[in-house]
Amino acid sequence: MRLRRHGGWLTVALVGLPLALVTPHAMADTVDPLERADGLRADIDAILDDPALAGATSGVVVTHADTGEVLYSREADTGLLPASNMKPFTAAAALEVLGPDHTFGTEAVVERRPGRGAVPELYLVGGGDPTLNEEDLDSMAADVAASGVTSVGELYADDTWFDEARLVDDWWPQDEPYAYSAQISALTVAHGDRYDTGVTEVTVTPGDAGEAVNVDPGAAEGYVELDNRAVTGPVGGGNTLTVDRPEGTNTIVVTGTLPIDAGPLVVLRTVDEPAEMAGHLFARALEEHGVEVEGGVARGAVPQEWHRPRVVAEHTSMSLEEVLVPLMKFSNNGHSEMLVKSIGRHTAGEGSWRAGLVGIEEALRRMGVDTSDLVLNDGSGLSRGNLVTANAVVDLLTHAQDAPWYQAWHHSLPVAGDRDPFIGGTLTSRMGGTAAEGVVQAKTGTMTGVSALSGYVQGPDGAELYFSVVNNGHSGGAPTHVQDALVVRLAEYLGHQALVSPRRGAPAVGGELECSWELTC
């Protein structure tokens, strides 16, 4: 654990808060411990008395790791929407059930006879790998060619390792075009170094003045339909461009105006039936490696009468421990839901949300977590049917430390103020230059009217606090400045020092979605 110290600290998170909240009395060794605790509680009360939380409900718990003492509690047993604070539960259960070394496999299989030369059918079989990418498919295609297969009659994408449910029942339909609400499949292709699943990168550039813009649908070219209604506007004109995928379609619709002097607009948009897109990309790779695909590409299961199909290519994913880094750092919903179904497949032989959520709850209970106040409707927190309490979150944080996989889980949490996105994640731009920088590891959570931050604060002497802040019912953007101020206060309570620079003006608030979903962190 890196503990950072700088000559001058700037407590940005405390903008607009009274300086009395961070006066040196809180850190003085001469102050009685009871007085220090009372001062902490008073300061947290003052921090939570922020106009941004007017009309909101806030569940807040802070406990001391060594003693178990509850230093602060408010609405601790109130059921609240967790947003992405659901992910730590899912990740912990996945580590408990599958193990940190668990990997996910993808295979290309043909019938044993003929098995080489011209084969009538080839199946690309998904095993729930959240990180399978185009390079992996290209490598598999090369192996197919090396196996002696020269042509394929029909290519099938087999995603039956999971069930056919693609979206959770109460996810908002208007979210479907966006990467954070991609369809869930056992066979899907990940994009970029953050491994966003079920998406394609759409790039829009200006054309000639008054003419249509140029649209490149990325990896999904030839798989999605394209409806380009957007036009190129004059120099200095407004950018009103919209890139959509209407519900129930596999069509990318581009509307609005893009100025002729504008740079490229690059967005991620989801596709319909990710397994079929994986099949199309695999067909393209096979052709590039000299294996002719004579027929079409469709979804289909390996025939049961193929008792021992020949595996002509296979790919093994990175370990679950490694998968958790992009999942937790960037709050990846698709990965979370694939883990839910993988848990269900492992525990009940059924890759479904129903089986997986039961498996998660059972795993948490085995860990010692009190699940009586949990309501689980998905694994990512995108569902508004989930409920947690701040006490339940802290209970998870407490029991996770006793698990053999704790270090892998802890390593996956975002680190406050670290500018490396693969360390700081969704906390990259939060609490930098404060007493919390580098010593707070926590999971964020943000949806409209829902915001949360829960995790650990480490002191310079090894002491540690567990905390959970879950805000529901606020209006406007997420009250991240309130959460940050509270956590900075905890870091100072443990002995990390900061110099306060008074600043004027209203404190900044967060957006209505995780910053990683909006590609702002």
Residues annotated as catalytic are 84, 87, 331
Q: What's the full length of the chain, in residues?
A: 521
Torsion of CA 277, 244, 175, 299, to 10 degrees: -20
Evaluate whether 244 touches 228 at the Cβ level (below 8 Å). no
3-state DSSP call for residue 516? coil
Evaluate whether 256 touches 238 at the Cβ level (below 8 Å). no
Kindly give, in sequence order, each residue whose CB lies less than 8 Å from that of residue 194, ignoring residues fewer than 6 positions away. 326, 330, 332, 516
Q: Amino acid identity of 63?
A: T
Helix H, strand E, coil C: the string for 229-284 is CCEEECCCCCCCCEEECCCCCCEEEEECEEECCCCCEEEEEECCCHHHHHHHHHHH
> Angle of helix 333-348 relative to helix 320-329, nearest 10 degrees?
140
Q: How far is CA 423 from CA 110, 198, 383, 442, 459, in A?
A: 42, 24, 27, 11, 19
Distance of alpha carbon 75 from alpha carbon 83, whole angstroms: 17
